[in-house]
Amino acid sequence: REEETPEDVFYFVDFQRHNAEIAAFHLDRILDFRRVPPVAGRLVNVTGDVLQATHNEDLRAVFFTSPANNTCFFAKCLYVCKTEYAVCGSPDLLEGSLSAYLPGLSIAPR
């Protein structure tokens, strides 16, 4: 990508982690290990696909609009879950990855 993570950013809020997941999937396929679940990059409309689709008030409560007029949200957890570590769309679109895991045939016959 064109951007590097600043040195003072906590690893788990790194905005480039989804690219690593996609790269790991493709490298796994090239090397024929077949150990990584399928991953694809996606653009998610944070407002339309998440905020307007939910009726959960706890989820709605973590959304806010940034000073730059971007739609942002943060997680509720024990560690770095505050507005300082929010994830923001640009203005509503957020780039991420989608991964699918299918259990083995002995666990879930098809």
Binding-site residues for ATP, please?
A: 99-102
The string of DSSP codes covering 33-86 is ---SPPEEEEEEEIIIIIITT---HHHHTTEEE-TTS-EEE---SSSS-SGGG-
DSSP annotation of 13: G
Find out whether 95 and 18 touch, Cβ atoms under 8 Å. yes
* 34 vs 55: CA distance, rounded Å: 38
Q: Which residues are annotated as a binding site?
A: 99-102
